[in-house]
Amino acid sequence: MCVCFGAMIPALYSDDDILIIDKPAGLAVQPGEGVRICVIDAVERDFGFRPWLVHRLDKETAGCLVVARSRHVAAGLSAMMGGHGAVKTYRAVVAGSPVPATGAYGDDVVVRGKSTSAETRYTTVETDGRLSLVEAELGTGRMHQIRQHFAGAGHPIVGDDKHGDFKLNRVLAREFGAKRLMLYAARLRLPLRPPVDVASSVPAHFAAFLESWGHGAGA
């Protein structure tokens, strides 16, 4: 899928130390093979400084992403984003209906080939039994943590091409046009002075899926 990132990246919050952007789906956070433009490039282009990364979002995950304006600020933010104070809330559409409707997953996840501890707390926002709109809050900040936890519980995220149900993904792509990962970083709260609390927009592909599905109108 070809995605154009010529438009300015929306800012959700900015001060002398940090910038929080509303990252579009399909935009990689950092340079890599096949990456024509990444968050680092886009921030420098749109906001006039070379950012320091303090956490990551998958390329296909949209939403709240904070970057630092200096190395000194980045050091403190990295610890905060790693599970020491920041509250990161995601929204996703998953297969089935989690039981219980509100709970937590604490199984280890695999990061770069190694098993490591992780915690994901979740709440079911809406369900029709076949699919569910959920909110997930990270207790830790592991790579693909939410995707692994829901898949491991038998409720893979719709559109997940790594940990998902590939057969179901094909069915939902035909039925609802679900061709992207149905996961986004919906809200970010930072315990700064004063506290920072921002919410992202609902990504266009996510909103279109909810409309086709006929649920989640309040998302």
The answer to whether the CB of 51 falls within 8 A of the CB of 65 is no
The separation between the first and the last C-alpha atoms of the chain, rounded to the nearest angstrom, is 25
The answer to whether the CB of 219 falls within 8 A of the CB of 182 is no
The answer to whether the CB of 137 falls within 8 A of the CB of 88 is yes
Q: Which residue has the tokens 């020491």?
A: 84
Residues annotated as catalytic are 58
Give 33's contacts (C-beta < 8 A, 6+ positions apart): none
Alpha-carbon distance of 213 to 128, in angstroms, equals: 10
The answer to whether the CB of 8 falls within 8 A of the CB of 41 is no
